[in-house]
């Protein structure tokens, strides 16, 4: 029944007018592949969509040493520059830190920032600073750090619980088969933002109440004091673009441009 409802929503959305263009940024331990269903559905509606493959993620062959926050920002800005007009920039999880820094660099090229279960570091704060305060996250308890390689690993047996407890079988298999260890240096890099840069861009947040990676209580704490043009709340785990893509599309559609 849930699958049937999701298909009905996708069918309805496919008839909506085009908007965007969208640039989609994935989170830690994932890649551009994680946006496949959402991207395909947005394109079916007539939207232009670009999915960013961050360095040392997914199919990108950049060595871990080349994975920096600046490199992530550069890859995202390149995707934005390929579009003919300002974009709707969506960041999932760690991608929230990336889109925040991108908005500081090129605010005039962004019509809206959408944070999906995402970190929103403040000026001078790193993603790691926020993650260390998240006592409700399940990630820290299973994280395996390789100091020599500069990476962090989540064991295969913990991927479902941490990232997608409500994933159907095929999406869980995609998460497991596409997994790569995460470069740690960018996570500890403080962001630099100003009111004239990131502060001037319209923002939206999609909360996930069953999140075991970036917990709902942390999502609420780190978004306090930020003015959002719109929000949505999904009764979902950390990766609704995998488990509930139709609901993610509904949220994107609900946000006023």
Q: Is residue 4 part of a domain?
A: no
Q: In angstroms, rounded to a whole number, what is the distance separating the alpha carbons of residues 238 and 214?
A: 7
Nearest to 33 by CA among 12, 59, 55, 13: 59
Residue 227 lies in domain: 17-254
Q: Residue 4 pLDDT > 80, yes or no?
A: no
Q: Is residue 219 part of a domain?
A: yes
Contact 221, 75 (CB under 8 A): no
Mean pLDDT taken over the chain: 93
Q: Residue 149 pLDDT > 90, yes or no?
A: yes
Q: Residue 3 pLDDT > 70, yes or no?
A: no
- Residues 65-75: tens digit of each pLDDT: 999 999 999 99
Q: Residue 242 pLDDT > 60, yes or no?
A: yes
Preceding amide of 21 cis, omega within 30: yes
pTM attached to this predicted model: 0.92
**Share above pLDDT 90 across residues of the chain, in percent, rounded to a whole number:** 89
Q: Can you give the CATH number for the domain in which 92 is found?
A: 3.40.50.1820
Decide which of 133 and 4 is more confident. Answer: 133
- Residues 167-180: tens digit of each pLDDT: 988 999 999 999 99
pLDDT-derived band at 20 (thresholds 50, 70, 90) equals confident
What is the number of structural domains in the chain? 1
Q: Is residue 132 part of a domain?
A: yes
Q: Is residue 26 part of a domain?
A: yes
Please report the pLDDT score of residue 134 as a whole number. 98
Residue 167: half-sphere exposure toward Cβ, Cα within 13 Å:
21
Q: Is residue 166 part of a domain?
A: yes
Q: Residue 1 pLDDT > 50, yes or no?
A: no
Distance from chain centroid for Cα 243:
14
Q: Is residue 11 part of a domain?
A: no
Q: Is residue 1 part of a domain?
A: no
Please report the pLDDT score of residue 257 as a whole number. 61
Neighbour tally for 147: CB within 10 Å? 7
Exposed/middle/buried for 169, CB within 10 Å: 0-12, 13-18, 19+?
exposed
Q: Is residue 75 part of a domain?
A: yes
- Residues 180-234: tens digit of each pLDDT: 999 999 999 999 999 999 999 999 999 999 999 999 999 999 999 999 999 999 9
pLDDT-derived band at 256 (thresholds 50, 70, 90) equals low
SS (H, E, C) 59-119: CCCCCHHHCCHHHHHHHHHHHHHCCCCCEEEEEECCHHHHHHHHHHHCHHHEEEEEEECCC
């Amino acid at each position: 029944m849930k699958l049937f409802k999701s298909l009905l929503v996708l069918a309805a959305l496919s008839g909506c007018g085009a908007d965007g263009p969208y640039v989609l940024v994935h989170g830690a331990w994932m890649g551009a592949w994680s946006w496949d269903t959402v991207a395909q559905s947005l394109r079916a509606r007539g939207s232009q969509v670009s999915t960013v493959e961050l360095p040392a993620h997914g199919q990108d062959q950049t060595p871990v040493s080349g994975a920096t926050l600046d490199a992530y920002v550069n890859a995202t800005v390149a995707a934005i520059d390929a579009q003919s007009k300002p974009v709707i920039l969506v960041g999932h999880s760690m991608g929230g830190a990336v889109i925040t820094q991108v908005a500081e660099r090129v605010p005039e090229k962004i019509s809206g920032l959408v944070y999906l279960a995402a970190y929103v570091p403040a000026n001078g704060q790193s993603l790691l600073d926020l993650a260390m305060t998240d006592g409700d996250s399940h990630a820290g308890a299973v994280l395996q750090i390789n100091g020599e390689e500069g990476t962090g690993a989540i064991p295969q047996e913990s991927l479902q619980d941490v990232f997608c407890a409500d994933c159907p079988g095929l999406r869980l298999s995609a998460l497991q088969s596409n997994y790569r260890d995460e470069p740690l240096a960018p996570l500890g890099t403080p962001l630099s933002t100003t009111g004239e840069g990131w502060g001037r861009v319209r923002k939206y947040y999609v909360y996930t109440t069953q999140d075991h990676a970036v917990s709902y209580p942390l999502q609420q704490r780190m978004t306090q004091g930020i003015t959002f043009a719109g929000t949505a709340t999904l009764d979902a785990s950390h990766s609704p673009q995998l488990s509930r893509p139709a609901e993610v599309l509904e949220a994107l559609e609900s946000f006023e441009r």
